[in-house]
Chain A
Amino acid sequence: MAFALGTGLAFAIIYVLVAKTIRERTDAWLSGEAEVLAQVSANTPKDHLYNRIVGEVAELATRELPDERNAQGQRLNSVFFLAEHLDGTESPLWVGPGSDDVFVKAIQGASVGRTPRSIGVEGWPTSFRVVARPVGMSGQLIYLGLSDRGDRYVLHILTRRFLLLWGATALMGFLISYMSARRTLLRVDNITEAVARIGSEDLSGRLPESASRDEISRLAETFNLMLDRIQSSVNQLRSVTDAVAHDLRSPVTSIRGTLESALSNGPNDNWRDSVGEAIEHLDRLLNVLNTTLDLAEAEAGALHLDRRPIDLTALVEQFINLYQPAMHDRHHEFVADIDPHVVIDADWSLLSRMVSNLFENELTHLPPNCRVHIRLRLQNESAELVIDDTGPGFPPEITGRAFERFVKGMKSPGHGLGLAFVDAVAKAHGGVVKISDRAGGGAVITVSLPASVLQPA
Chain B
Amino acid sequence: MRLLIVEDDVAIQSFVKRALSEAGYQVDTARDAETGELKASEGVHDAMIIDLGLPDMDGLNLIAKCRAQGISAPVLILSARRSVDERVKGLEQGGDDYLTKPFAIAELLARLRNLLRRSSAPHSDPVRLEAADLQIDLVRHEARRGDHLLQLTAQEFSLLEYLCRNAGRVVTRSMILDHVWSMRIDPGTNVVDVHIYRLRIKVDADGRTPLIHTIRGAGYVLKNG
Contact of B190 among A287, A294, A326, A350 (CB under 8 A): A326
- The count of residues in chain B whose C-beta lies closer than 8 Å to any C-beta of chain A is 27
Report the bound CA distance from A353 to B188 in whole Å: 11
Report the bound CA distance from A349 to B82 in whole Å: 10
| Stretch in B1-9, B10-18, B51-59, B191-199 touching the partner | B191-199
Minimum Cβ distance to chain B for residue A276 (Å): 2
Report the bound CA distance from A325 to B216 in whole Å: 21
Minimum Cβ distance to chain B for residue A391 (Å): 16
Q: Which residues of B contact A325 (CB under 8 A)?
A: 191, 194-195, 198
Contact of B181 among A303, A322, A364 (CB under 8 A): A322
| Stretch in B29-37, B42-50, B83-91 touching the partner | B83-91
Q: Which residues of A contact B84 (CB under 8 A)?
A: 304-306, 347-350
Report the bound CA distance from A325 to B186 in whole Å: 18
Residue pair A273, B216 in contact (C-beta under 8 Å):
yes
Report the bound CA distance from A325 to B190 in whole Å: 10
Instruction: Kindly identify, within residues 170 to 225 of chain B, every residue whose CB is under 8 Å from any CB belonging to chain A.
Output: 177, 181-192, 194-195, 198, 215-218
Closest partner residue, chain A, to B156 (CB atom): A325
Report the bound CA distance from A350 to B84 in whole Å: 9
Known: A318-B183, A322-B181, A347-B84. A276 touches B218 (CB 8 A): yes
B122 within 8 A of partner (CB): no
Known: A275-B217, A277-B216. A294 touches B82 (CB 8 A): yes
Per-residue 0/1 for A327-351: is the Cβ within 8 Å of any B Cβ (1 yes, 0 no)? Answer: 0010000000000000000011110
Instruction: Kindly identify, within residues 210 to 263 of chain A, every residue whose CB is under 8 Å from any CB belonging to chain B.
Output: none
Q: Which residues of A contact B69 (CB under 8 A)?
A: none
B70 within 8 A of partner (CB): no
The interface residues of chain B, by DSSP majority, are classed as: loop
Q: Which residues of A contact B192 (CB under 8 A)?
A: 322
Closest partner residue, chain A, to B199 (CB atom): A325
Residue pair A356, B155 in contact (C-beta under 8 Å):
no
Residue pair B85, A306 in contact (C-beta under 8 Å):
yes
- How many pairs, one residue from A and one from B, have CB atoms within 8 Å of each other in the complex? 78
Contact of A272 among B83, B181, B216 (CB under 8 A): B216
Residue pair B188, A360 in contact (C-beta under 8 Å):
yes
Report the bound CA distance from A175 to B181 in whole Å: 81
A293 within 8 A of partner (CB): yes
B126 within 8 A of partner (CB): no
Q: Which residues of B contact A42 (CB under 8 A)?
A: none
Q: Which residues of A contact B187 (CB under 8 A)?
A: 356, 360
Residue pair A352, B194 in contact (C-beta under 8 Å):
no
Residue pair B185, A287 in contact (C-beta under 8 Å):
no
B24 within 8 A of partner (CB): no
A321 within 8 A of partner (CB): yes
Residue pair B88, A306 in contact (C-beta under 8 Å):
yes
Residue pair A352, B186 in contact (C-beta under 8 Å):
no
Report the bound CA distance from A275 to B88 in whole Å: 34
Q: Which residues of B contact A321 (CB under 8 A)?
A: 155, 181
Report the bound CA distance from A356 to B188 in whole Å: 9
Report the bound CA distance from A421 to B108 in whole Å: 29
Residue pair B216, A276 in contact (C-beta under 8 Å):
yes
| Stretch in A47-55, A100-108, A278-286 touching the partner | A278-286
Residue pair A329, B185 in contact (C-beta under 8 Å):
no
Per-residue 0/1 for B119-157: is the Cβ within 8 Å of any A Cβ (1 yes, 0 no)? Answer: 000000000000000000000000000000000000100
Residue pair A353, B194 in contact (C-beta under 8 Å):
no
Q: Which residues of A contact B215 (CB under 8 A)?
A: 276
Report the bound CA distance from A318 to B182 in whole Å: 8
Report the bound CA distance from A305 to B85 in whole Å: 8
Minimum Cβ distance to chain A for residue B149 (Å): 21
Residue pair B183, A352 in contact (C-beta under 8 Å):
yes
Q: Which residues of B contact A282 (CB under 8 A)?
A: 102
Closest partner residue, chain A, to B182 (CB atom): A318
Report the bound CA distance from A94 to B177 in whole Å: 131
Minimum Cβ distance to chain A for residue B153 (Å): 9
Report the bound CA distance from A68 to B188 in whole Å: 111
Q: A276-B216, A322-B177 are in contact. List 20 more A-B contacts (CB 8 A).
A: A273-B216, A278-B217, A280-B216, A282-B102, A283-B186, A286-B102, A287-B186, A303-B83, A304-B85, A318-B182, A322-B181, A322-B183, A322-B195, A325-B194, A348-B84, A349-B84, A352-B183, A356-B185, A356-B187, A363-B191
20 contacts between A and B (CB under 8 A): A276-B215, A276-B216, A277-B217, A280-B216, A280-B217, A282-B102, A286-B102, A287-B186, A304-B85, A318-B182, A322-B183, A322-B192, A326-B189, A329-B194, A349-B184, A349-B185, A356-B187, A360-B188, A360-B189, A363-B191
